[in-house]
Amino acid sequence: LLSSRETVSMLIDKGEATSIEAKEHLGDANDPGNKFMEMFYYQQVLRNFWLGYGERCRHFAQKGFARIPQGKYFFHIIKFYYGLSLLEMLKKKSNYVRFKEVEEIIESLQVAVEHADSNIRNKLELLQAELHGLGARHNEAVALYNAAIASAKKSKFIHEQGLACERAGLYYKKMGFARDALVHFQQAHACYKEWGS
């Protein structure tokens, strides 16, 4: 709980309220049975993704992958946000290794969606949309952005619905479709506001 509270605090007040208190409760980082560290890495990935620190997100994702069992829900969430961070890095500079990592993340989420459709589908669709957008496959990207928004809404993941709308808006803006971009940015704003952001 303290780790979650610290993430929210970091996003709101730069972590001044809880960072010392949370660090005191993590326990021994080297203890493989320390469940607090799993949550710590999960929260660090979320925090660094939302703050736009792609390399830090990558660092904590890799630490989380080494510690969190593959079947756990947190494992898939880390993969999702790590995948989005990798895609952001790829938009700035092409990198074959990162591209392959994104493809592997998508493949693993395709397996996970078979077991937890309502929890994973919107994440998979958003990653696929972003990848198609990078590859200039406009029709596929648009269809997948719309699917990701609808899946997130259906699953009541309002923050991820906002994220999908925001990413779709950025894609439309890049493609020169100002009206579509504005509509999606407005939808993203409404979702984030409802989420409490």
Tally of CB atoms within 10 A around 92:
8
Among the residues of the chain, which ranges form H helices? 2-13, 19-24, 35-51, 54-67, 73-92, 96-113, 117-134, 138-154, 158-175, 178-195
Class of residue 185 by CB neighbours under 10 A (exposed 0-12, middle 13-18, buried 19+): middle
Token pair 């494992």: residue: 75
Most confident of 8-12, 52-56, 167-171: 167-171
Tally of CB atoms within 10 A around 172:
22
pTM, full prediction = 0.83
pLDDT tens digits along 65-118: 888 888 788 889 999 999 999 998 898 888 888 899 999 999 999 999 998 888
Q: Read off the tokens for 121.
A: 């589908």
CA-based nearest residue to 151, from 161, 141, 142, 143: 161
pLDDT tens digits along 10-28: 555 554 544 544 554 555 5
